[in-house]
Structure 1
Amino acid sequence: MTQDSRLKTQDSNPKDLLYQVALPLIPHVGGGTARTLVKGFGSAEAVFSASQERLAQLPRVGTTVLRNLLSYKSSALREAEEIIKKAEAEEVQLLYYTNPAYPDRLRDLPDAPLLLYYKGTADLNAQKVISIVGTRKSTEYGRIVTERMVQDLVQHEALVVSGLAYGIDIIAHRAALKAGVPTVGVMANSVETVYPTQHTRDAEKMVQNGGLLSEFPFGTKPDAPRFPSRNRIIAGMSDCTIVVESTNKGGSLISADIAHGYDREVMAVPGPITSETSEGTNQLIKSLKAVPYTKHQDLVELLNWDKALAPGAVAKAEPTLDLTAFSEDEQKVLQVLQHAGPTHIDVLSRNTDFSMGQLSSVLFTLEMSGMIKAMPGKLYGLV
């Protein structure tokens, strides 16, 4: 999808877009609460026109949320109007969670942002997405490993995600730009301001081959609480989060913990036991929260990339399996497994176009019927 087509998608319903942008601007209306409201009333616009009595009947709408919905809706709508104008001027896409360009891997997570601000050209739903994070005080060892890691991703046409910070983050972004790999920086402030400012030129290049992504409205400055919030997007929108270097209290460990909590793959680069910047990665491996990354093949095998269907490939059913007794959704999954063999759940999701919730339901039914089996590494295969 090109940038122009995504912008057209964004503007396809400008009236409802106003309410979509306004809803997360209301204090204490987080992503989960906002989704409950939208689901209950059918649209963001309907939330704003709902009566106090109807709002109070919904779960997650306590006294504070109810008061803020009534008190702030006018000011939120005014602010949303200004945001939409600025987004058009700055060529920033406003990606509501129902927008096709919104990251699918992130969409169904319970704390996913309702709205994302995105400036760039990369497909946030690329077939393969890898997050590379690490300490701001990186060493030469960390630089060499990161650059090699990114170079090895060229053959897979993967999207590289990181946080635009000093150290491993910016090394990953720069290596991706040099190698021609699209790279997205997830920011703890609004997209019109680059932090740290020393990375402004890098960010400008990333917009041309990648992008800048944030959940924060224009004018938001970076502060400490926003960085962990930013980290959940880094972890949530990728297939695997790789920690290259980290101290025993490094911020990248937060990304690893979040990814682990999302049941996403986590890898860590082992390092010298004498190095402070390897204490965190070595502990991740020791505690079994991360798989060791010692070479590129480790990642390929973990994510089953060597057996994944190529982008756009059509799965072909083999004549040895009669699919007529299965539902259409079940047939789709069985066809992929016949064609590709044991397949990672994320690859299944992308090649069937099922949401993770829909896919999990189909997999459960097929597993209970004895047709498929779950395997280590989030793989599924025919029995």
Structure 2
Amino acid sequence: MTDQDLFHLLALQQVEGVGDIVAKKLITHCGNAVEVFKTKSSQLASIDGIGSVLLKNLKDKTVFEKAEQELKFIKSNEIDVAYFQDENYPDRLKHCIDGPVLLFTSGNIDLKNKKIISIVGTRKITSYGMEFCRKLIEDLAPLDPVIVSGFAYGVDIFAHQLAMEHDLQTIGVVAHGLNQIYPKDHKKYVAKVEKNGGFMTEFWSTSNPEKENFVRRNRIVAGMTEATIVIESADRGGSLITANIANDYNRDVFAVPGRTTDKYSQGCNNLIKTQKANLLTSAADLVYILNWDIESKAKPVQKQLFVVLENDEQKVYDYLLKNGKELLDIIALRCDFPIYKISGMLLNMELKGVIRPLPGKLFEAI
């Protein structure tokens, strides 16, 4: 994308009445943003949804002044820009009709051939949520996923921190321009996040973290990822909005169940109850439902002569070796382990290459 293209795209964004959907219509019809401003009104009027008011607004020259200022900011701060038709734009977000025309990024973001998931939840994460999130990312780490979240208090920042602890790429999608950080308390994490991933936003440097921006931000979190995971949530909250958007985009949604009396499990329990989310008890559930290829990550047991199994893992392995293919629930019952524990254990054993998953939540020893 040339500077001229970017300049006209920025100008188009400033035209009153032009949002992402309308901008894409105009660009598709004209070929690019430069041509949008050159094309005669009579020709633009033939586009569905383009009326006289919008055609008049396209003649407003002040949009170029604003675009020039923002372009200076982008260049002077070495901001990377992803255009919705370019290769560096998140692939899944390209399929969202209301995805941003432009994304501004900083850091070292690389989304090529990556498993990308978002982890969201309450800003008042509990010890239960922390422990689950910690175990989840620890178990997923060998698969090298990209962890996306909103860089907010609670679940968001905790997920970012855990991702960095395991040297995973993490992306903070923010609801303001890249000239600031919200919340300010999280400035201390910026350098490390940019080293391990980076920040992404659709908002200009003139945009502050207004309430409505967070809802718009959530569609990027949901749209660019393969699945959205809700760790904890009250019966209302931004993470539930993200989950609903993910459902609208036909993305997989997962929710961590909790006790019915726990305030910050109500939202997750309701998502599961209304079949808007898959029940998530361990990383193994996620890997199974998303059909991630684990076997390619694990060495075959025949070649790995000295596999070290924990005592509990050895018990499960011996059972499968003796009984053959078996359902997860039956393994838990026969080996006397709770479901949440057996799920994580089976994933670890898969990664060690001593068992493999089969359709229908069956497992067998290799």
Query: Do they fold alike, i.e. is TM over 0.5?
Result: yes
Cross-structure match for 2:350: none
Cross-structure match for 1:268: 255
Q: Does 1:296 align with 2:287?
A: no
Structure 2 stretches of 5 or more lacking a match? 298-358, 361-366
Deviation for aligned residue 1:209: 1.1
2: distance between equivalents of 1:214 and 1:309?
34
Cross-structure match for 2:24: 35
Match of 2:68 among 81, 90, 98: 81
Cross-structure match for 1:211: 198
Q: Deviations over 1:18-60 (max 9, x none)?
A: 1122211222211110111011111110001122222222112
Cross-structure match for 1:65: 54
Deviation for aligned residue 1:184: 0.4
Match of 1:98 among 51, 60, 85: 85
Deviation for aligned residue 1:159: 0.5
Report 1:161-176 matches (<5 A). 161-176=148-163
Deviation for aligned residue 1:150: 1.7
Cross-structure match for 1:46: 35
Give, as a single letter, the amino acid of the residue that structure 2 aligns with 1:92: I
Cross-structure match for 1:284: 271
Q: Does 1:147 align with 2:134?
A: yes
Cross-structure match for 1:252: 239
Give, as a single letter, the amino acid of the residue that structure 1 aligns with 2:16: P
Give the secondary structure class of the aligned counterpart of 1:306: coil
1: distance between equivalents of 2:109 and 2:25?
30
2: distance between equivalents of 1:272 and 1:244?
13
1: distance between equivalents of 2:63 and 2:133?
42
Does the C-alpha gap of structure 1 residues 34 and 274 become closer, same or farther in structure 2, counting only changes over 3 Å?
A: same
Deviates more, 1:118-127 or 1:272-281: 118-127
Give, as a single letter, the amino acid of the residue that structure 1 aligns with 2:9: Q
1: distance between equivalents of 2:47 and 2:199?
35
Cross-structure match for 2:222: 235
2: distance between equivalents of 1:91 and 1:79?
18
Does the C-alpha gap of structure 1 residues 211 and 63 become closer, same or farther in structure 2, counting only changes over 3 Å?
A: same
Deviates more, 1:85-94 or 1:160-169: 85-94
The RMSD of aligned alpha carbons is 1.7
Structure 1 stretches of 5 or more lacking a match? 1-9, 311-374, 377-383
2: distance between equivalents of 1:50 and 1:219?
29
2: distance between equivalents of 1:70 and 1:308?
58
State the identity %.
40
Match of 2:168 among 162, 178, 181: 181
Give the secondary structure class of the aligned counterpart of 1:191: coil
1: distance between equivalents of 2:195 and 2:24?
32
Deviation for aligned residue 1:309: 7.2
Give, as a single letter, the amino acid of the residue that structure 2 aligns with 1:17: L
Do 1:126 and 1:158's aligned partners in 2 also have CA atoms closer than 8 Å? no
Cross-structure match for 2:95: 108
Q: Deviations over 1:298-341 (max 9, x none)?
A: 0100110136878xxxxxxxxxxxxxxxxxxxxxxxxxxxxxxx
Do 1:24 and 1:115's aligned partners in 2 also have CA atoms closer than 8 Å? no
Q: Which runs of 4+ in 1 moved over 4 A?
A: 307-310
TM-score computed with the length of structure 1 as normaliser: 0.75
What is the total number of aligned residue pairs between the two structures? 299
Deviation for aligned residue 1:240: 0.4
